[in-house]
Homo-oligomer: A and B are copies of this chain.
Amino acid sequence: MNTRSHVTLLVGGVGGAKLAVGLASILPPEALTIIVNTGDDLDHLGLHVSPDMDTVMYTLSGLANPTTGWGITGDTRRALEMITRYGGPGWFGLGDSDLGTNIFRTALLREGKRLTDVARQMSSALGIRHTILPMSDDSVRTVLDTDQGRLAFQEYFVRERWQPQVHAVHFEGAAEAQPSAEVLQAIDEASLIVFGPSNPVLSIDPILALPGLRERIRASSAPCVAVSPIIGGQAVKGPAAKLMAELGIDVSPVGVATHYIDLLYGIILDDVDMHLCDVVSRMNLHCIARRTLMDSLVDKIALSEHLLKWAEEVFS
């Protein structure tokens, strides 16, 4: 099998979006489908906000703020300032252009459109030719049991700056939600399934929590590989390392591989963790060490090329 013929990438936000850009720079539109976590979605001020979807969409369209990785370059916050002036909540940082996205998405959803179709329409309008799929058209909401009580995802992540200690993570609605037909097809038709360098617990697990999805990945003829989001015991960005430690997961590519062990054929870890390839190999997984930090577009494309070439060599 040509592992390059249809890559299906599962991601959360910033880290996964970077790999998506690299892969999209190499693969034609029909050869890449990006499945995005929507467990981070929230209803905020009556708007349906999809932070991970937008991060991927903004990154692929070149709109993303390169400093933060999320939001739109040069965006302003006039609307939010006005809302706080009225006494409304200001903790969730929506820029003005970003609000345009969320207002329009919400309006389309209210017309009865599926999130999947809305995502297609909006990403096409931004010139994106590769397919970005929300993991489901149904509501799944990540909530966390913490030392400050139960928190909705964005309360934990944005409002509390992921400082509370997490005891457990739940995906509300996941058991009743369905992966969309498009998501199932992207897995069935995949030649390679990739878990992006995203938070395993908060970004990939919500996708895997959808009924039947793990089984579908296992049943797929495509090998499934992961790019470790942990480099030298640390997360590139966000709470992955802190959270994994709190949940008793080894904060290393080994911990990541173990987390996905029922699904995984191999893992790419960073050069600094090369010594861990021995451990991973003893878990009966393929392993390769490469530079996984993706600062520049060159980095993103290089890692994507390494990933595709390695998969081709090992799994074809």
Does residue A219 face the partner (Cβ distance < 8 Å to B)?
Answer: no
Within the assembled complex, what's the spacing in Å between the Cα atoms of A110 and B48?
14
Within the assembled complex, what's the spacing in Å between the Cα atoms of A87 and B118?
12
Does residue A121 face the partner (Cβ distance < 8 Å to B)?
Answer: yes
- Is the CB–CB distance between A104 and B125 below 8 Å? no
Report chain B residues within 8 Å CB of A76. Answer: 76, 78, 96
Q: How far is the CB of A156 from chain B (nearest CB, A)?
A: 22
Q: How far is the CB of A300 from chain B (nearest CB, A)?
A: 25
Given A46-B46, A85-B125, A86-B121, A78–B100 Cβ distance below 8 Å? yes
Q: How far is the CB of A122 from chain B (nearest CB, A)?
A: 5
Does residue A80 face the partner (Cβ distance < 8 Å to B)?
Answer: yes
Within the assembled complex, what's the spacing in Å between the Cα atoms of A83 and B101?
6
Interface string of A102-116 (1 = CB under 8 A from B): 011011001000000
- Is the CB–CB distance between A45 and B78 below 8 Å? no
Sorting the interface of chain A by its residue count into under 10, 10 to 19, 20 to 34 or 35 or more gives 20 to 34
- Is the CB–CB distance between B106 and A80 below 8 Å? no
- Is the CB–CB distance between B97 and A46 below 8 Å? no
Report chain B residues within 8 Å CB of A101. Answer: 82, 86
- Is the CB–CB distance between B79 and A100 below 8 Å? yes
Does residue A289 face the partner (Cβ distance < 8 Å to B)?
Answer: no
Does residue A126 face the partner (Cβ distance < 8 Å to B)?
Answer: yes
Within the assembled complex, what's the spacing in Å between the Cα atoms of A76 and B81?
13
Most buried by B among A81, A82, A99, A125: A82
- Is the CB–CB distance between A46 and B79 below 8 Å? no
User: Pick the contact of A97 from B81, B88, B110 — CB < 8 Å?
Assistant: B81
- Is the CB–CB distance between A103 and B83 below 8 Å? yes
User: Pick the contact of A96 from B45, B86, B96, B122 — CB < 8 Å?
Assistant: B96
- Is the CB–CB distance between A122 and B78 below 8 Å? no
13 additional A-B residue pairs with CB within 8 Å, beyond A85-B125, A86-B125:
A46-B103, A46-B110, A76-B76, A79-B97, A82-B97, A82-B99, A82-B100, A82-B104, A83-B103, A85-B100, A86-B100, A86-B121, A99-B103
Which A-B residue pairs are the 7 nearest by beta carbons? A82-B100, A79-B100, A78-B96, A96-B96, A45-B107, A78-B97, A82-B97
What are 29 A-B contacts with C-beta separation under 8 Å?
A45-B106, A45-B107, A46-B46, A46-B103, A46-B106, A46-B107, A76-B78, A78-B78, A78-B95, A78-B97, A79-B97, A80-B100, A81-B100, A82-B97, A82-B100, A82-B101, A82-B104, A83-B103, A83-B104, A85-B100, A85-B125, A86-B101, A86-B104, A86-B126, A87-B121, A87-B125, A88-B104, A88-B107, A96-B96
